[in-house]
Chains A and B, each alone.
Chain A
Amino acid sequence: MEEPKQILTPEEVSRLAVMAEAELANEYLYQILEVGQTMLQCGGEVSRVEESIRRMCLAFGAERADVFTITSSIVVTVYAHKFGTLTQTRRISGTQFDLHRLELLNALSRRICAEHLGPEETARALEEVQAVPQYGPVAQMGIYALASASFSLFFGGSFADVVVSGCIAVVLKIMDLFIKRIEAGGGASVLLCSCLGGLLSALSVRLGLGDNVDMISIGNIMLLIPGVALTNSLRDMFGGNTLSGIMRFIEALLQALTIAFGLALAARLM
């Protein structure tokens, strides 16, 4: 005689269904947070990231989605009758502006909303976005030289100043790449770059290569100085994201102080 199979009560069946739904929803949420995290790290605004995550959550069936984003963290809680309440959190570190990727991610988030992509498809699309090539080291040196020379010209440097400023920018970029390779913190790179930049511009004028120390170093400093970060922090604050704004404001201030310290150090050394 076989023992009769245990039969689940309707209550247990519905609980199992909720658990299965919750498992799936958690996978969706995980991928959506991946998209949101990458957006934030590529330089997306806090409001854009929050709105995109909210829309993507509603697209996969959440009835309610509460998203809280600051520059260093994302917290999402979704609710739906079929899977209950779920929360996932991310710690975000290391923002590196990449507006091309941001554009692709924005398009991806719209696609997720419109075509209801599943977790696997989303992960695959995200991998494609992350495989997009960036400028190589040599190209980056050229880019830094262009930007630095431009700002030297912009603030009224002579032809010699412009050329010297561009050359120093290449040296600074090489050092920056080297420091990044040995994985030192961002502050160390800024301090060394501003100090070396100050030394090299003073040295070039002494050797008779450039005409004006200020005009040479302003080009290099513009690459480091957090003018954009300062403006963006105020934009965040006025736009209602006070906490992110304050964090960015303090970060910008600290970076400016680091640069000033590096330059002062260079001035004492010369």
Chain B
Amino acid sequence: MRYFLELAAAFTGSMGFAMIFHVRREKLFLASLGGMLAWGVYLLMGLVSDQDVVRSFAASVFMTVYAEVLARVVKCPATLFIATGCIPLVPGSALYHTMEYFMDGDVSACLSQGLATVLVAVSIALGMLFPTSIFRLAGRTRGKCPR
């Protein structure tokens, strides 16, 4: 039940951000779906690993592949789906807690939470890079411009 609520919230949350980013019409649904699926992968990876970094990386790779494939199907920049799909994954609450510790003057908690936040952000960023470069390479060998 908890997971279904989270997935539903990931869908509407991504949709909210997609609308803040001015995504339109049928792409709005696809972008929100990307966010939900990414969170689904994150939850599924919980069966394999309890490391946030590993789960975020896997979810980010999946989300980017989804975005790059869709970008070719509906003919639009992949950024549109990447920027919205990563919303449930980005370490917003971790960053918030880091700042909370910082303001409380709890230096050691702030440092460890801050490090964890940056590590998750790094894993998401690296997860985005791999599929994008592979798709770009595949496009180049077929002589097409990158999307």
Interface residues of A (CB under 8 A from B): 43-45, 48, 51, 55, 97-103, 106, 110, 134-135, 139-140, 143-144, 146-151, 153-156, 218, 221-223, 225-228, 230-232, 234-235, 237-239, 256-257, 259-261, 263-264
Contact = CB atoms under 8 A, between A and B. Distances in A.
Contacts of A147: 12-13, 16-17, 19-20
Given A55-B145, A97-B83, A154 B22 contact: no
A90 B122 CA distance: 31
B88 A154 contact: yes
B96 interface: yes
A242 to B, nearest CB: 13
B121 interface: yes
Given A99-B21, A144-B16, A225 B92 contact: yes
Contact of B128 (A97, A155, A235, A260): A235
A27 to B, nearest CB: 25
Interface string B72-86: 000011011001101
A101 to B, nearest CB: 7
Contact of A235 (B6, B17, B20, B125): B125
A119 to B, nearest CB: 22
27 contacts: A43-B83, A97-B22, A97-B83, A98-B22, A99-B18, A100-B23, A102-B79, A103-B76, A103-B77, A106-B76, A135-B22, A146-B12, A146-B19, A147-B20, A148-B16, A149-B12, A153-B5, A153-B9, A155-B93, A156-B2, A221-B92, A225-B92, A225-B96, A227-B121, A231-B121, A234-B122, A256-B99
A143 B87 contact: no
A221 B9 contact: no
Contacts of B84: 99
| Interface bracket on B | 35 or more
B122 A263 contact: no
Given A103-B76, A150-B16, A264-B103, A234 B125 contact: yes
Contacts, number: 147
Give me the 9 closest cross-chain CB pairs, A-B, nearest first.
A147-B16, A260-B99, A227-B90, A150-B13, A227-B92, A234-B125, A154-B9, A153-B9, A235-B125
A44 B78 CA distance: 11
Contact of B77 (A48, A156, A237, A261): A48
Given A102-B79, A234-B122, 12 more contacts: A43-B21, A48-B79, A143-B16, A147-B13, A147-B17, A150-B16, A153-B8, A225-B95, A230-B95, A231-B125, A238-B122, A256-B98
A143 B20 contact: yes
Given A102-B79, A228-B87, A257 B146 contact: no
A249 B140 CA distance: 31
Contacts of A261: 103
Contacts of B16: 143-144, 146-148, 150
Nearest to A252: B95
Contacts of B103: 260-261, 263-264
A50 to B, nearest CB: 12
A257 B145 contact: no
B11 to A, nearest CB: 8
Interface in B94-116: 95-96, 98-100, 102-103
Contacts of B9: 150-151, 153-154
